[in-house]
Amino acid sequence: MHAQNNKWLMVLNSGQPIKIRLICFPYAGGDPEQFRSWSADLSDHIELVTVRLPGHGSRLDETPYDEWAPLLEDTFAQLSGYLKEPHALFGHSFGGRLAYEIAKLTERRYVGQTRHLFVSGCRSPDSDQARPFLHELPQPDFDHALLSRGIAPPEAVRNSERRLQFEPAIRSDLKLAELWSDQIGESLNIPVTALYGSDDPLDSVASMMNWREFTRREFELIEVRGDHFFVTTQRKRLLQIINTHLGLLSE
């Protein structure tokens, strides 16, 4: 496995000829290292690129973004060299929103290079956000919500030291996620696969089915067994779906 790292990006590939890359965006407060294990199960022709945002993972000491405009401008600039070549985008929860916004920018700048968009555990842009906003909750209620609503992995929430470390990032990401909307929509010219957890209390099938209105191309809605973190518990199933789509694209 060949790896390249910089402040913003981790790039992993098999060393075999690359036909397409998969660019991944983590959930609210998530460490992009969660995607490292994916490289072992992705097909050899797929290069894996994961995005490290300020306040996440090895950048915990940096201030996270809490406004969309600078987040998108900086993320797009860092990814530009990868977006100008064939790629797919994957994002879970908050990361799904970011993947969609990057897809819109890429479609304007590098026409035809985004070959597929995977959005996972992420309401459609025109779906209403549940209230009250979690990012506005006072500390005791916020801590309770992290556990009871399944917003963050239980093993991270129950570890008080880890919770204090990632809380600034998760609050900022939740603010962006909860205030995000796209009522008009741009109807991407990109195939979209939307995945939801069968027992997800945050992003149910009802909140995700309208993703079909945001693409003029093929759309599919897939149920995966599990709660909001099926992205972890059902990793092999998820990668099977991704490999199938990206394998077809490489033929």
pLDDT tens, residue by residue, 203-225: 999 999 999 999 999 999 999 99
Is pLDDT above 70 for 143? yes
CA separation for the pair 33, 90 (Å, rounded): 15
Average pLDDT over residues 16-34: 90
Of the listed ranges 31-35, 96-100, 185-189, 208-212, the least confidently predicted one is: 185-189
0.75 exceeded by pTM: yes
What pLDDT, on the 0 to 100 scale, is given for residue 202?
87
Name the class of domain 2-249.
alpha beta
The number of beta carbons lying within 10 Å of the beta carbon of residue 230 is: 23
Is pLDDT above 80 for 251? no
Q: For 87-138, write each residue's pLDDT tens digit.
A: 999 999 999 999 999 999 999 999 999 999 999 999 999 988 777 777 877 7
What pLDDT, on the 0 to 100 scale, is given for residue 209?
95
Sheet holding 192-197, edge to edge: 2-5, 9-13, 46-51, 20-25, 87-92, 114-120, 192-197, 219-224
Mean of all residue pLDDT scores within the chain: 88
What pLDDT, on the 0 to 100 scale, is given for residue 50?
95
Q: Where are the domains of the chain?
A: 2-249
Percent of the chain with pLDDT over 70: 88
What pLDDT, on the 0 to 100 scale, is given for residue 138?
77
In the chain, the amino acid numbered 99 is: A
Mean pLDDT highest for which of 74-78, 130-134, 147-151? 74-78
Beta bridge partners of 114: 87
Of the listed ranges 19-23, 51-55, 59-63, 129-133, the least confidently predicted one is: 129-133
What pLDDT, on the 0 to 100 scale, is given for residue 151?
67
What pLDDT, on the 0 to 100 scale, is given for residue 125?
92
CA separation for the pair 21, 243 (Å, rounded): 11
Residues 6 or more apart from 71 whose CB is under 8 A from it? 53, 65, 98, 176
Average pLDDT over residues 52-80: 94
